[in-house]
A = this chain, B = another copy of it.
Amino acid sequence: MVSNYPPNILLANCASRKVLDLIADKWVALVIRALSLGTMRHGELIRTIEGISEKMLSQTLRRLERDGLVARKVYPVIPPKVEYSLTELGWSLNEAVNTLSKWAEGHIAEVEEARQRYEQQ
């Protein structure tokens, strides 16, 4: 990746754009929000994030683990017990993602009104 100083997501080759590609994602936002409630196993995440598929959850967790946002802890028991939690980096993203989630939760009515006006045009 190309390093731009200062970083600028408007530039296609800036490394920050690649990071934005990964984090500006609904499922990333939802997994991070869920893990901000506490350490969870795969099954708990599935139940907490309504509507996420097994496959999407696995893919999202793998990406988040690779990018250092989520830690995966495997306990040497039979059957294996695997727990996911936010890393320090993940917690810092949580704040940014929360701003977005709270915006979504706080502006439903205005977006719906705008859509109705648009449809009526």
Chain A contacts to B: CB under 8 angstroms: 1, 3, 6-13, 15-17, 19-26, 28-30, 33-34, 48-51, 65-69, 89, 92-93, 95-97, 99-108, 110-115, 117-118
Q: Is the CB of B24 within 8 A of A113?
A: no
10 residue pairs A–B, Cβ–Cβ below 8 Å: A7-B108, A9-B30, A9-B104, A12-B51, A16-B104, A20-B29, A20-B30, A23-B100, A67-B111, A95-B99
Could you tell me the distance in whole angstroms from the C-beta of A53 to the nearest C-beta in chain B? 11
A49 to B11, CA, bound (A): 7
Q: Is the CB of A9 within 8 A of B33?
A: yes
Q: Is the CB of A108 within 8 A of B15?
A: yes
Q: Is the CB of A104 within 8 A of B19?
A: yes
